[in-house]
């Protein structure tokens, strides 16, 4: 007999598209799952819509939402032997989604969790589309059943290999109730799914990556959101994966933020030059400009003294909200360190993301620059904070910045 299934959806002002999700989950082939919705203070009628589809709705204050504990609450109010966790905007692609997601639980009692593949929405921007598809390519197109028999061998793996070994994503996942009862999600601001996967694998269970249970999911987010998200990820993921202290290219706040400021000025040099364009830019021309700025650095990248002056003014204005950057407002001499891995990461993104894109208009290029910059700076700032924290070297200013960047992720 197939195990009973409950679907737990977390919502807050899910919008009109939520109706389509409810239709998809209630018309799955050979399944009539229980639906439990945990709603965090919606004001757009989301709970009433869920009830019209027969869902049990649990209302909680928005301020009490927590990625781990709120999912625990939904599972506690469900009855199924298998609990499917879904976010409000992850749309199953077909009526076999649920069977593909839950089928692995039938034969092997050690399988305690299944996660799946996401594809971007049709209107996703170029940066988001690249990020989702690159992640999918890293996971591969085949079913993968993961277990860790030798934890000491796992601890010798580099961070990226550990991450893909334990990859689990609660955008769309399924967990076995009996395992969850022993290993509930923990109260965490981020990556509660990865934390759960590490703990159950350590306990001898198995998790499955099932690429056939596809959901459509992507977000149009601001640059500041991606700065924050990549910062928090770089700060938390190595801790969850029990990795050694990461290496850093700057060993003090002054060096770190001087590098951030220089990189932003280089990005603005490209940004301002593109702003002079009125037509689209070919791949060849874009790569030529990126390569020129990467090789030349700030000595020649700005093109004219006027652009150089304007870029520096933009740096000061753009970074005025960063607590530590204020000390650099008096800096007049900028220099490029080409060994800076944050800089290399930024220029890699500028070249890599456009590989399969058509010719680029100015608005698309500006979006690419801003979002690539946010990802690179967020990632390396998060690693720097983690390094400082493990060595008990977090300054008051860095602590202020940390609190600012951890908001709203």
pLDDT tens readout for residues 2-17 = 669 999 999 999 998 8
- The residues that bridge with 280 in the sheet, in sequence order, are none
What value, to the nearest 5°, has the Cα angle with vertex 398 and ends 377 and 386?
A: 65
Render 274-322 in DSSP notation, one character per residue. HHT--S-B-HHHHHHHHHHHHHHGGGTTT-SHHHHHHHHHHHHHHTTTS
Q: Is the pLDDT of residue 246 over 80?
A: no
Rounded mean pLDDT, 180-190? 95
Q: Are 229 and 381 in contact (CB under 8 A)?
A: no
Closest CA to 118 of 3, 212, 254: 212
- In the chain, the percentage of residues whose pLDDT exceeds 70 is 87
Q: What residue spans define the domains of the chain?
A: 5-220, 253-405
More confident residue, 31 or 358: 31
Q: Side-chain half-sphere of 384: how many Cα atoms within 13 Å?
A: 24
Rounded mean pLDDT, 309-322? 50
pLDDT band, very low/low/confident/very high, at 222 (cuts 50, 70, 90)? confident
State in words which class domain 5-220 has: alpha beta
pLDDT at 82: 97
pLDDT at 331: 41
pTM, two decimal places: 0.89
Closest CA to 110 of 36, 241, 207, 35: 207
Q: Is the pLDDT of residue 335 over 70?
A: no
Rounded Cα distance between 15 and 17, Å, is 6
Q: Is the pLDDT of residue 247 over 90?
A: no
């Amino acid at each position: 007999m197939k195990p009973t299934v409950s679907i737990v959806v977390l919502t807050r002002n899910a919008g009109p598209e939520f109706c389509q999700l409810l239709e998809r989950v209630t018309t799955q082939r050979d399944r009539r799952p229980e639906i439990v919705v945990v709603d965090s203070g919606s004001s757009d009628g989301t709970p009433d819509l869920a009830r019209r589809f027969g869902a049990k709705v649990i209302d909680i204050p928005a301020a009490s939402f927590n990625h781990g504990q709120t999912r625990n609450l939904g599972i506690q109010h469900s009855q199924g032997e298998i609990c499917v966790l879904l976010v409000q905007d992850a749309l199953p692609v077909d009526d076999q989604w649920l069977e593909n997601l839950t089928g692995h639980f039938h034969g092997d009692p050690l399988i305690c969790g299944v996660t799946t593949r996401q594809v971007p929405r049709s209107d996703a921007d170029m940066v988001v589309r690249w990020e989702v598809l690159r992640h999918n390519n890293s996971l591969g197109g085949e079913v993968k059943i993961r277990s860790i028999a030798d934890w000491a061998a796992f601890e010798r793996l580099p961070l990226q290999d550990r991450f893909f070994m334990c990859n689990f994503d609660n955008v769309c996942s399924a967990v076995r109730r009996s395992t969850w009862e022993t290993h509930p999600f923990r109260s965490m601001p981020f990556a509660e799914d990865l934390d759960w996967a590490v703990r159950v694998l350590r306990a001898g269970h198995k998790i499955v990556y099932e690429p056939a249970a596809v959901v459509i999911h992507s977000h149009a987010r601001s640059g500041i959101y991606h700065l924050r998200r990549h910062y928090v990820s770089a700060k938390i993921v190595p801790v969850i994966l029990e990795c050694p202290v990461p290496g850093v290219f700057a060993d003090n706040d002054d060096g770190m933020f001087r590098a951030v400021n220089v990189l932003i000025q280089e990005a603005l040099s490209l940004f301002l030059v593109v702003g002079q364009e009125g037509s689209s830019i070919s791949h060849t021309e874009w790569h030529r400009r990126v390569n020129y700025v990467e090789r030349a650095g700030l000595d020649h990248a700005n093109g004219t003294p006027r652009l150089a002056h304007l870029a520096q003014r933009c740096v000061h204005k753009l970074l005025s909200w960063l607590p530590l950057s204020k000390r650099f407002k008096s800096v007049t001499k900028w220099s490029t360190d080409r060994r800076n891995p944050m800089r290399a990461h930024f220029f890699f993104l500028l070249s890599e993301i456009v590989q399969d894109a058509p010719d680029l208009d100015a608005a698309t290029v500006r979006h690419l620059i801003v979002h690539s910059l946010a990802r690179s700076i967020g990632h390396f700032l998060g690693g720097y904070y983690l390094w400082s924290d493990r060595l008990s070297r977090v300054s008051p200013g860095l602590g202020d910045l940390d609190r600012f960047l951890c908001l709203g992720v």
